[in-house]
Structure 1
Amino acid sequence: MEARDVLAFHAEDPVRLNALFLKGAVNTPTSVIEPYLVALDNCSTFGELCSTLATVARRLERDTGLVGKGLLMDGIAGSGSHGVKVPVNVVMQVQESEKVSLNTGVEVGNNELGAVATASLRNLFPKPTLQHTEAKFSFGSRTLAAIHAQHMIPITPTIAVGLKAHASQQNMKQFIGCGVGRARLSAIIRADSPLVPGVHEFGVGLEERSIREVGGTASTSVSAFEPLEQNLRLTHTFELDTRDDLVLPTSGVLVRIQQELGGISSPTFMPHTGGDQPKGLPLDKLTVKGAGTPTPGFVKNELWIGGVKNLGAGVVFSTNLRLGLLFSLDGKSCTSIHDRFLLGGPCSLRGTKLFGLGDRDDGNVLGGDAYYAVGASLMSPIPGVNPNVPLRAHTFFNMGGLVANKGGGTVGGILQVFAGQPFDTVKVRLQTQPTPAPGERPRYTGMMDCIRQTQANEGLRGFYKGTLTPLVGVGACVSIQFLVVEYFKRHFSAQNGLGNPLTNAQLYIAGAAGGVANSVVSCPVEHVRTRLQVQSGAAASSTSSMTVYRGPLDCISKIYRSHGLAGLYKGMGVTMIREFQGYGAYFLAYEALVRRSMQKNNCARTDLPTWKIMSFGALGGYAMWSTVYPVDIVKSKLQTDGFSGEGRRYTSTLDVVKKTWHAEGMGGFFKGFGPCILRAAPANAVTFVGFEFAMRLLN
C-alpha cells in the first residue's frame, strides 16, 4: 500500500504525538528549532499530524535551512477506533544547508541568453535571531544587467519581515524603441496563510523608472510617457504551491495572486540626451501631457492557476490559466506602457512571437489592460533516454488574448451582486429544500413563504448570506466573461472582414466561451455562497446535518482542509455546462438587441439610452435562465450535498437528475424559478449598464 493510501485509510484515527526526534541538526541551536515544533502538540488525528508535519518541514527549510531528507513514524497500528489516542513517535532526518553559498550558471529562456550568479548567506549568527540574505545577479542579451536581493528575518514560525531591492536595465528597442531602467526598494511582511498552506506577502516600496536611449523607432504612443517616474507601490502576493518539483513536476497545484496599487506620483521632466529624436514627437514635447501634475495611479491584478497530474508510465498532464486586469483609479487616464501586460513568447504563450499579441503603433508594442492565457500540455519519456535526464517529449496547446479597457466588467459585476443576492438566496433555498414525505408540509411552501420565514428568523442579513464571496470574486468573474467575449468578437470581426456584422452563431460562441472561462472562478465562488445561503440562523443546513460555517473564510478553510481543491470545485462539470449554454444565450440575446436598435435608430452604441441598455440586459437574463434553470437546480443540489458518509445523498450529476425526476417529476427541476426570473431583470440590467458606462469612461 502506498503512503498516500495509508494516510487516507488512517486519516481520522485519533493520535497524539509522543516524541519527536530531529536527526542531522548538529549546528542549529535547539532554541531556534523548538518554536517551529509547537504546532505539532495540537494535532488530534493522524491526517492532521501528517499535514502539520509537512508544514513544519517546509517552514524549517525556509527559515532555518534544515532540509528534510526523510520521515519515520511508528505507533499507528491499532487505529484508535474506540476513541483512544494512539501515541506516535516521529523521527525527522534533516540536512543543514551551507551558511554561505555561491552558484553561477547560464539561463536560456523567453528568447534570451544570460549569465547568472546567486549568493546566499544564511544564519551566520543564529542568535539572537535567524536571518537569510539572498542576491541574484544576471546579465543577458535583453536584460543587460539586473540585481535582485532580499534580507528576511523570521519573527515567528509564521511571520517574517525584511527588505527587497531590485534594479535592472533592459534593452527594449526591438519592442518599444528605447531602453528601460527600473529600481525599487520595498519593506515587506511575509505571513503564512491561516486557512490554506500558502503564503501572503505584503510590501510597500518606492520605484523609479526611466526611459533611456530613445531611438528613431520609438512611436509617438511610446515616447509620450514620462522619461522619469518616481512613485509609491503597495503590493500583495499570495502563493500556494504543492508541486513536487519546480522544474519537472509530476503532481500538485500552483495558485498565485498578485495585486498592486501603484503609479501615484508627480512626473519629473528629464531632458532627452543622446539618440535619435523619436518619430512624430518634437523634442520639447518629450514629457507626457500635463507633466508635473500628480498621476491618478492604477490597480493591477493577476491570477495564475495551474495543476499537474501523473497519468502513469511517466506521462504527465498539466494545465494552467492566467488572467490579468489593469485599470486606472480615476477610470479615465491612460495607464503607462510600462505597467501594462505584455503577452506572447515561450514563458507566457508558447508558439507565439515574444510580446507578439495586442495592438501596435508603428511597430511598437503597446501592451494591454487585460489578458487571459490558457494552456495544457503532455510530457512523456523519450524512448532510449535515461529517465533521470531532464529531457522529455512535449505536446502542448495554448490560447490567449490581450485587449485594452476591460475594467467595466468589475463595475457591472459588483452592481449585479447587490441587486440580485436576495433573490438568489430565496432561489437556492427553494431549490435545495428536501422533498417532504407524503402528507408532510415542505419547509417552504413557495417563494413568499421562504421570504417570510427568512425575514422572521434572520432579518435582512439572512437575504445577504454568502455575499462576501461573490463580492470578492465578481470582479474576476464578470471581467473574465466580458474579456473573453470581447476577444472572440474582435476575432470574428477580423475574420468576417470590415463592414460584415457578426452572425448569431458567432455571438453565441463568444458568449459560451466567456461562460466556460468564467466557470474556473464562478464554481468555487458559488459553491461557498450556496453552502452559506442554505444555512438558516444557527441551525444546520436544510439539506443535511453538516456543520454550520461561520462565514466564507471558515467555509473555504474547512472544505479545503478536508477535501482539498477538488472539494472547493465540487460541481465543476455541471457548472461548465450551465455557463456554456447560459452565457451563449445571454450574450447572443443582448448583442442582437443592441445591434437591432442601432440599425433601427441609425445611432452609435454610445448613443443608446440607459433604459434601453437595462431592458436589453434584463431580456438577456431571461434568455439565459429560461434555457439553463434545470441545470442550475442540479448544480445547487450537488454543491449543497454532503461530501461523504450519511450526509451524501447524490453520487454524481446524473444521480441528481435521476433522483429529482423520480421524487418530484418535471416540477422538481423548476423549484425557485419565480425568484430567479425576478432576479434576472434587475441584476442583469445593472450589469450591462455598469459595463457600458465604465467602457465609455475608459474609451
Structure 2
Amino acid sequence: MSSLQLQDFAAGWVGGAASVVVGHPLDTVKTRLQAGQGYGNTLNCVLTVYRNESVAGFFKGMSFPLASIAVYSSVVFGVFSNTQRLLGQLRHGDTSHAPTLVDVALASTVAGFISVGIGTPVDLVKIRLQMQTQTYSTADVKLKPTVPGFPVYRGPIHCFRTVLQKEGIAGIYRGMGAMLLRDVPGYCLYFIPYTFFCGWITPDGCISPNPTSIWLAGGVAGAISWGTATPMDVVKSRLQADGVYLNKYKGILDCILQSYQNEGLKVFFRGITVNAVRGFPTSSAMFLGYELSLKAMKRGHTETNP
C-alpha cells in the first residue's frame, strides 16, 4: 500500500477522534431518547440525565468509541478515498481524475458496506454502556437477574466479553442488518452533499477548500445524513439496547412492528432533532480533522521528498 493510500486511513483516524470528542454528549441524549422510555422530549432527557448522573452521564461509554470510532472512521475514509482513486483509474484512466457523482455514490456504498463489519460491535458496546442505568418501566426483572437502574457492565471490555459469552457472535453483531440499511444510504447522503457543497462554496481558483468551506460543507452533510437516517437509527438503537435487562425484539421487522404498535409512527422520528443538530458539529469536526491532517501529511511528505 502506497504512502498516499495510508495517509487517507491516518487522516480518517484523526477525523474520527475529533468527531467523538465533539459529538458524544449529544449521542448519549440521542440514544436515550430512541431506546429509553419516560423522557418525553430532548430537553427533558438532557435535564434528567444531568440531574441523575451529572455531567459525567453525557460522557458515559466514551472511552470505547474514542478508541474504536477513530479506527472505524479511518476505515471509512480510507476505503472511500481509495475506492474513488480506483474508480478514477478504471473509468477515466487517471487516479487523480475529479470524481463524478456516480464515482462518489459508488465509493460511498462500498465504504458503507465495509464499515458495518467494524461499526456494529462498536455501536453495540457504546449503546449498552449508555443505556445500562436507564430505568425500564416495562422490564420484567424475572427475565434477568440484573435489576434495572444499576450498572450491568463494568466497562467496554467487560461489556464486550459479557455479550460474547452470553449471546455469542450473533449478539456482538446484533442490529447489523439495521445498521447496513442505515449506513449504505447514509454514507451516500454524507459524502455526496459534502462533495457538492464543498465545491460550491469554495472560491474559484482555489486548488483545495479552505477550513471554513470544509467546516460548513461537513456540517451540512452531517445534518442531512443523520436527519434522513433517523428512522433506521431508531430501529438499530432499540435492537442493540435490547438485552441489557430483557429481550423484546426478534429482529428488524419485529422491532419496527412493536415500536409502531406501541408508540405510533412518530417513534421512528424520535431523536431526529438531536440527530440533525449533533450531525453538524460532529461531521464538521470529522471532515476538518480529516482534510487538515491529510493536507499536513501531504505537505510533510513533499518537504521530505523534494
SS at match of 1:648: coil
Identify the match of residue 662 of structure 1 among 243, 252, 261. 261
SS at match of 1:675: helix
Contact kept in structure 1, 2:76 and 2:115, CA below 8 Å: yes
Shift in Å at residue 433 of structure 1? 2.1
Shift in Å at residue 679 of structure 1? 0.7
Contact kept in structure 1, 2:224 and 2:276, CA below 8 Å: no
Contact kept in structure 2, 1:586 and 1:623, CA below 8 Å: yes
Does the alignment pair 1:570 with 2:196?
A: no
Distance 1:504 1:668 in 2: 33
Identify the match of residue 286 of structure 2 among 678, 683, 687. 687
- Where does structure 1 lack aligned partners over 5 or more consecutive residues? 1-366, 371-402, 435-442
For 2:303, the equivalent position in structure 1 comes to: none
Equivalent runs, 1:125-524 vs 2, <5 Å:
367-369=1-3, 403-406=5-8, 407-434=10-37, 443-494=38-89, 495-497=91-93, 501-524=98-121
Distance 1:641 1:452 in 2: 24
Normalised to the residue count of structure 1, the TM-score between the two structures is 0.39
Shift in Å at residue 516 of structure 1? 1.5
For 1:121, the equivalent position in structure 2 comes to: none
Name the aligned partner's letter for residue 692 of structure 1.
E
Does the alignment pair 1:530 with 2:141?
A: no
Shift in Å at residue 597 of structure 1? 3.5
For 2:304, the equivalent position in structure 1 comes to: none
Name the aligned partner's letter for residue 242 of structure 2.
D
**CA RMSD for the aligned pairs?**
2.0
For 2:296, the equivalent position in structure 1 comes to: 697
For 2:302, the equivalent position in structure 1 comes to: none
Distance 1:563 1:649 in 2: 14
- Superposed CA deviations along residues 373-432 of structure 1, whole A, max 9, x for unmatched, are xxxxxxxxxxxxxxxxxxxxxxxxxxxxxx231211111101110100010100111101
Distance 1:651 1:461 in 2: 33
For 2:195, the equivalent position in structure 1 comes to: 591
Name the aligned partner's letter for residue 238 of structure 2.
K
Contact kept in structure 2, 1:582 and 1:627, CA below 8 Å: yes
For 1:581, the equivalent position in structure 2 comes to: 185
Distance 1:689 1:543 in 2: 43
Distance 1:550 1:542 in 2: 23
Contact kept in structure 2, 1:642 and 1:648, CA below 8 Å: yes
Distance 1:666 1:490 in 2: 42
Contact kept in structure 2, 1:515 and 1:576, CA below 8 Å: yes
- Superposed CA deviations along residues 432-481 of structure 1, whole A, max 9, x for unmatched, are 124xxxxxxxx112111111111111111100111111111122100111
Contact kept in structure 1, 2:227 and 2:273, CA below 8 Å: no
Distance 2:165 2:108 in 1: 35
Name the aligned partner's letter for residue 533 of structure 1.
Q
Shift in Å at residue 622 of structure 1? 1.6
Pair 1:508–1:542, CA change in 2 (3 A): farther
SS at match of 1:647: coil
Distance 1:445 1:541 in 2: 14
SS at match of 1:651: coil
Contact kept in structure 2, 1:413 and 1:687, CA below 8 Å: yes
Distance 2:60 2:136 in 1: 13
Larger Rg: 1
Contact kept in structure 1, 2:218 and 2:283, CA below 8 Å: yes
Identify the match of residue 618 of structure 1 among 183, 204, 219. 219
Question: Matched residue pairs, number?
Answer: 286
Pair 1:540–1:560, CA change in 2 (3 A): farther
Distance 2:255 2:169 in 1: 22
Distance 1:490 1:615 in 2: 25
- Where does structure 2 lack aligned partners over 5 or more consecutive residues? 147-151, 299-306
Normalised to the residue count of structure 2, the TM-score between the two structures is 0.88
In terms of fraction of residues, the more helix-rich structure is 2
For 1:640, the equivalent position in structure 2 comes to: 241
Name the aligned partner's letter for residue 415 of structure 1.
A
For 2:204, the equivalent position in structure 1 comes to: 601
Distance 1:543 1:533 in 2: 18
For 1:166, the equivalent position in structure 2 comes to: none
Equivalent runs, 1:18-29 vs 2, <5 Å:
none
Shift in Å at residue 528 of structure 1? 0.6
Distance 1:601 1:449 in 2: 46
Pair 1:568–1:500, CA change in 2 (3 A): closer
